[in-house]
Amino acid sequence: MGKFKFGVSLRETGGRDAWIAKCRRAEELGYDVITVPDHLGTGRFAPFPVLAMAAAVTERPRLGTLVSNVPFYNLALFAREASSTAALLDGRLDLGLGAGHMKSEFDAAGLPWQKAAERIAYLGESLGYLRKHFEDEGIEHPRLLIAGNSDGVLDLAAEHADIVGFGGLRQQPGKPPGTFKLDNAEAMDERVAHFRAKTGRDVERNMLVQHVEVTGDRLAAAEAWHEKTERSAVPDARELLDAPQLLLGTVEEIAGQLETRRERYGFSYITVFEQYLETFAPVIRELQ
pLDDT 10s digits, 166-200: 988 888 877 887 778 889 999 999 999 999 999 99
Rounded CA gap, 250 and 259, in Å?
14
Which amino acid would we find at residue 224? A
Is 9 strand, coil or helix?
strand
pLDDT at residue 180, as a whole number = 84
- DSSP single-letter state for residue 141: P
Q: How far apart are CA 127 and CA 133, in angstroms?
A: 10
The mean per-residue pLDDT over the stretch 151-178 comes to 91
| 97 sits in which H/E element | strand 93-98
Q: From the centroid of its chain, how far is CA 186?
A: 21
CA distances for 65 relative to 81, 97, 236, angstroms: 12, 7, 34
Residue 35 forms beta bridges with which residues? 9, 64
Calculate what percentage of the chain has a pLDDT beyond 70.
98
Q: Which of 251, 64, 170 is nearest to 259 (CA)?
A: 251
What integer is the mean pLDDT of 25-32?
98
Residue 231 has pLDDT above 70, yes or no: no
Nearest to 164 by CA among 201, 125, 119: 201
pTM equals: 0.96
Give the mean pLDDT of 206-223: 97
Rounded CA separation 35/26 (Å): 11
Cα(33)–Cα(165) distance, rounded to whole angstroms?
14
CA distance 12 to 174: 32
Q: How far is CA 234 from each of CA 71, 211, 258, rounded to the nearest angstrom? A: 31, 16, 22
pLDDT band per the 50, 70, 90 thresholds, residue 165: very high
Tell me, what's the pLDDT at 106?
95
